[in-house]
Amino acid sequence: MKLGVLDQSPIPDGVAPEQALRNTIDLAQNAERLGYTRYWLAEHHNTRGLAGPAPEVMIATVAAATHDIRVGSGGVMLPHYSPLKVAETFHVLEALHPGRIDLGIGRAPGGDPISAAALRIPTAQGDQFPHQVQDLIGWLEDRMNGEHPFARVRATPEPTGGTPPVWLLGSSDYSAAVAAVLGTAFSFAHFINPSLGDAVMKQYREGFKPSPTLAQPLGNVGVGVICAETTEEALRLATSVRLWRRRLMRGDPGPVPTIDEAIGELGPNALERPHDPERRLVIGNPDEVRVELTELAEAYRVDELIVLTIVHDHAARVRSYELVAEAFADQPPS
């Protein structure tokens, strides 16, 4: 099983945003030490709980602070930006860190409607996302349609060793369909919408059309995980993110609350295992987490999971990733 990291750069209550970004760098260095294959940085806007509105900046910073782990976006919210600018940015990143950069593309706003409106340059009405992805690939891989009005424009600098692979990220069948038609890799956000997962991944595989850069469908799945030495400790750590997500659903994008605050607000059942039959958040000790993640990977027919862990304490977050890596390292070969 290959394991990657999705880092949303959470800001714990009482911690400065600057420290949250330093935590990201520290976690990336630990992830590389632990054998994680890739490290993706997310994009979120207008929130006091996440410090990552500019994944391209953090990709450059994390790649410079590590040596071999792949680093990429999970993802760039393409509707906000010019495809040419994104292609140029990732050409620069690839030139600086050859063979280590991933370009994950998302369609969601990464924030509330007001921040999305503030970010986007007014364009023609209608859904432009598939055309944006086509243009991005055309500039990124130097295969723009000759009839395109900007066909003579090149995304510079042009890396000599190749270009970053494109991943479409999504939690519905829309991005899966675009990825299949355009022949890109696809990452499904199980931690957002687990109920559609099997059908979406099946649709992607069955509809996949080979492209010049990808001959076969390639997918992975993003899963929320909290792991600790004991089940009881994992459930205690999970209270923070459970309350944080409840507040997000109510329109409060504040910092990740402390465990004490979460237990107080969640009530007498705070330390019990939440009802979660779809395993939106996998919580447990290393053996329990290994079993559940293996089952999810088998259900999705993927050999890579992208792990998202949010807890209040950074040391506990690093330890969770460490325990997950050790659990799979100790797993006997199949």
Q: In this predicted model, what pLDDT tens digit does every residue of 301-334 receive, in sequence order? A: 999 999 999 999 999 999 999 999 999 996 654 4
Mean pLDDT of 75-91: 95
- What's the whole-model pTM score? 0.95
**CA–CA dist 281, 178 (Å, integer):** 27
Residue 194 is classified by DSSP as G
Mean pLDDT of 79-88: 95
Q: What share of the chain is helix, strand, coil (3-state, %, to 5)?
A: 45, 15, 40
Q: What is the mean pLDDT of the chain?
A: 94
Backbone angles phi, psi at 200, to 5 degrees: -65, -45
Q: Is the peptide bond before 109 cis (omega within 30 degrees of 0)?
A: no
pLDDT of residue 334: 45
Mean pLDDT of 20-41: 98
Mean pLDDT of 44-59: 96
Q: What is the pLDDT of residues 86-133, one digit of tens each?
A: 999 999 999 999 999 999 999 987 887 888 888 876 665 556 899 999
Q: What is the pLDDT of residues 234-275, one digit of tens each?
A: 999 999 999 999 999 999 999 999 999 999 999 999 999 999
Residues above pLDDT 70, as percent of the chain: 96
Distance spanning both ends of the chain, measured CA to CA: 10
Who's near 235: CB < 8 A, 6+ residues apart? 271, 272, 273, 283
Instruction: Give all domains of the chain, ordered by start, each with its CATH number.
Output: 2-225+280-329 (3.20.20.30)
Residues above pLDDT 90, as percent of the chain: 90
pLDDT of residue 104: 98
b/e code 228-258 from CB counts within 10 Å (16+ = b): beebebbbbbbbbbbbbbebeeeeebebbbb
pLDDT of residue 322: 98
pLDDT of residue 187: 98
Q: What is the pLDDT of residues 124-157, one digit of tens each?
A: 555 689 999 999 999 999 999 999 999 999 999 9
284 three-state secondary structure = strand
Dihedral sign, Cα of residue 25, residue 27, residue 28, residue 33 = positive
pLDDT of residue 125: 55
pLDDT of residue 333: 47
Q: What is the pLDDT of residues 171-189, one digit of tens each?
A: 999 999 999 999 999 999 9
Mean pLDDT of 75-81: 93
